[in-house]
Amino acid sequence: AQSVSQHNHHVILSEAASLELGCNYSYGGTVNLFWYVQYPGQHLQLLLKYFSGDPLVKGIKGFEAEFIKSKFSFNLRKPSVQWSDTAEYFCAVKEGNNNDMRFGAGTRLTVKP
């Protein structure tokens, strides 16, 4: 069965620090990849997605992610985090044309002002 792994459970950074959150998946076929953010008390919002084409994907709020097929990875990055980026971040994978989306366990990001 497909699985999605997020390596960091809780990341604490100071403002202006660079961020990289890891995400690996186990499925070997065609995948669609997503990063979602969940701010405290709010619903999931899509940060960015990869379906095909350029493996470096740019999303909202200065986030980007790189799909490395050989490593089965889709790490999320941001060069300089802000206090307002404090949230839970979820990586999600959808197999090819399958309906359902599988989520990683999530990484809580705390940015200290």
Partner 1 sequence: GAVVSQHPSWVICKSGTSVKIECRSLDFQATTMFWYRQFPKQSLMLMATSNEGSKATYEQGVEKDKFLINHASLTLSTLTVTSAHPEDSSFYICSARLAGAQSEQFFGPGTRLTVL
Q: Which parts of this chain interact with partner 1 (CB under 8 A)?
A: 32, 36, 42-46, 49, 51, 90, 94, 96-106, 108
Give least dist CB 65 to partner 1, A.
16
Specify the residue, 58 or 80, whose C-beta has the smaller distance to partner 1: 58
Give least dist CB 64 to partner 1, A.
18
Give least dist CB 57 to partner 1, A.
14
Residue 35 in contact with residue 91, Cβ under 8 Å? yes
Specify the residue, 40 or 113, whose C-beta has the smaller distance to partner 1: 40
108 phi, psi to nearest 5 deg:
-85, 125
Parallel/antiparallel/unpaired status of strands 10-14 and 107-112: parallel
Give least dist CB 46 to partner 1, A.
6
Specify the residue, 73 or 89, whose C-beta has the smaller distance to partner 1: 89
Residue 104 in contact with residue 26, Cβ under 8 Å? no
